[in-house]
Chains A and B, each alone.
Chain A
Amino acid sequence: DTGVSQDPRHKITKRGQNVTFRCDPISEHNRLYWYRQTLGQGPEFLTYFQNEAQLEKSRLLSDRFSAERPKGSFSTLEIQRTEQGDSAMYLCASSLNRGWGTGELFFGEGSRLTVL
């Protein structure tokens, strides 16, 4: 297993364009999380899935943001009509659905979005 992978690693786009990020979690992990991180800040929770069900969405996730995990494996995060304030690192993490003792999060290397 190669861990959590994210694609693309870096995306530069013009304001108003749509972008999509993909996350492939560790294969046996049924929980998948999306976080956003800006410079000098800790990760901010966006949303998470248990299998294909989206169980929680942060109020940070405006209606321009949508996340899917159609078959309970990989996930996509789409941002429509990007704004300069969307520029950030988008982190994906996965975990097993167990208690905190074994439910640690494994993170990908992130997808950095730059909106010009």
Chain B
Amino acid sequence: AQSVTQPDIHITVSEGASLELRCNYSYGATPYLFWYVQSPGQGLQLLLKYFSGDTLVQGIKGFEAEFKRSQSSFNLRKPSVHWSDAAEYFCAVGAHNAGNNRKLIWGLGTSLAVNP
């Protein structure tokens, strides 16, 4: 079955420290992978996406993610975290259902807290 796992429910880092949020997926075909961020009381904003080509993708706000097919992972990274990065982060995989309709399958999210 198609699924997305974000192993870390909550992470706390200090401002200026590096960050890595984990995402593992289960999908039979070539995955289309996304990371979204949701700030408190806000909608979801796309950080970056992977479809093909270079396995290291750059996104907005200084984030990057690396697709590793052998590990079925798409981990999100940032070299230096800012206090404004505190938010909920969701990994998602784009899939087709039996009717060939496109849909996103979401992880449960990782809540990031940033200490000053």
Residues of chain A touching chain B, judged by Cβ–Cβ distance below 8 Å, are: 4, 40-45, 48, 55-56, 91, 93, 100-101, 103-110
Contacts and interface: CB of A to CB of B under 8 A. Distances in A.
Report the contact-size class of chain B (Cβ under 8 Å from the partner). Answer: 20 to 34
Contacts of B43: 4, 91, 107-110
B24 to A, nearest CB: 14
B71 interface: no
A91 B46 contact: no
A45 B104 contact: yes
Contacts of B90: 42-43
B67 interface: no
Given A40-B108, A40-B109, A41-B109, A100 B102 contact: yes
A91 B41 CA distance: 12
Nearest to B32: A100
A40 B6 CA distance: 12
Contact of A56 (B41, B45, B103): B103
